[in-house]
Structure 1
Amino acid sequence: MTVLPDTGYTPTPGELASIEAWFAAYDAHSAKREVERMADLAVFPLNLVSDDSAGNGASAQWDRQQFIETMGQVMGDGRDDITFESTRTPVFLSPAMAVVFTDSTMTMTMDGQTQQLRYADILIRRDGTWAFQTMLQGGWGDNLR
C-alpha cells in the first residue's frame, strides 16, 4: 500500500496492517463470489456514489438484501475464477475512519479477460473491526435507481 505524506492523522503500522487484512478477506470473498460473506463486511444502509450512462452523478442507499441481489447479478454465476491485483492508498481521517483509493486489475482466469478498476471505499472501525460504509465507483449509476 502507498501511504500519503504526513498530513492529518498518521496511522500506525498495525492500523495499516488491519486495513490490508480487511481487503485481503474482501477480495477473497469477491473472487469466490461469496456475496453474503462480502455483505458481512459492510455497514447497512450502505451508501453508493457513482455516475450513470448519461454522465450524471448518482447515489443510493442499499440495505443488505439489495446489496446481495445486485452484487449477485453483477458478479455472475461463478463459472470462471476471478483474480484481483490491487494497489491501495489508504487515507486515514482518524483511527476509526479511512478512505481507501484502489487501482485494480480484475482477471477472469478462464479466458484471460482483464478489466481495469478504480474505486474508493470509506471504511469505519467499530469494536476493533473494519467495515465498509460507502462505495464510490464510476459506471454503477444506472443500477442505483
Structure 2
Amino acid sequence: MPQLPDTGYTPTPEELASIEEWFAAYDAHSAKREVERMADLAVFPLNLVSDDSAGNGASAQWDRRQFVATMTQVMGDGSDDITFESVRTPVFLSPAMAVVFTDSAMTTGGRTRRLRYADVLIRRDGRWAFQTMLQGGWGDNLR
C-alpha cells in the first residue's frame, strides 16, 4: 500500500482560537436573528451542498440577497429565543482554509433540534469568512 506524504497542517493555538471566535460571533448573530450581520461573515457567491426530500444530492450558489431572504424566512419572526450548544471540530487544510464539522443543539420555543453540518471557511485579510455550507435537508430550498 502506498504511503501518503505528510501534508497535514497543524494550526497554532491562535488559529484555533480565531475559528472559535468567528463561530461565537456567528452564533450570537444567529441567536438575535441578525441575518444581515450573518451575511457579513460570508463570501459570496456562497456554495451550498445538501440533499432534498427525495434523497438526491443538491447544490447551489447563493448571492447575498438570496442568503438574506432565505435565512430570514428560516430563522422566523424572532418571537422565540434561540440558543445553540455546539461542539466543533476544525480541520485546517492550511493557515487560510478550514473545514469545520459541527454537532449542535438548537433550542427555540422549548423545542430542541439536533443538527450536524460542516462549513468551509477561508481567511482573507486576517479575517475568517464562510464560503461553503454543507448540511442535510436544505436541498428543496436550493432550487
TM-score range, shorter chain: over 0.9
2: CA distance, partners of 1:118 / 1:32: 21
TM-score, normalised to structure 1, is: 0.94
Deviation at 1:112, TM superposition (A): 1.5
Deviation at 1:23, TM superposition (A): 0.0
State the match for 1:112 in structure 2. Answer: 110
State the match for 1:3 in structure 2. Answer: none
1: CA distance, partners of 2:126 / 2:86: 24
State the match for 2:76 in structure 1. Answer: 76
Deviation at 1:36, TM superposition (A): 0.3
What's the % identity of the aligned pairs? 88
Deviation per CA, 1:40-98: give whole Å up to 9, x if none.
00000000000000000000000000000000000000000100000000000000000
Which secondary structure state, in structure 2, belongs to the residue aligned with residue 20 of structure 1? helix
CA RMSD of aligned residues (A): 1.0
State the match for 1:28 in structure 2. Answer: 28
Q: How does 1:20-59 map to 2 (within 5 A)?
A: 20-59=20-59
1:11 corresponds to 2:11 = yes
2: CA distance, partners of 1:14 / 1:83: 26
Structure 2 residue runs without a partner (length 5+): 1-5
2: CA distance, partners of 1:78 / 1:122: 27
2: CA distance, partners of 1:69 / 1:63: 10
2: CA distance, partners of 1:129 / 1:58: 29
Structure 1 ranges of 4+ moved more than 2 A = none
TM-score, normalised to structure 2, is: 0.95
State the match for 2:3 in structure 1. Answer: none
Which secondary structure state, in structure 1, belongs to the residue aligned with residue 103 of structure 2? strand
Q: How does 1:128-139 map to 2 (within 5 A)?
A: 128-139=126-137
User: How many corresponding residue pairs?
Assistant: 138
Which secondary structure state, in structure 1, belongs to the residue aligned with residue 71 of structure 2? helix
The structure-2 alpha-carbon separation of the partners of 1:7 and 1:103, relative to structure 1 and needing over 3 Å to count, comes to farther
Structure 1 residue runs without a partner (length 5+): 1-5
Residues 54-63 or 7-16, more deviating: 7-16
Q: State the AA in 2 paired with 1:69.
A: A
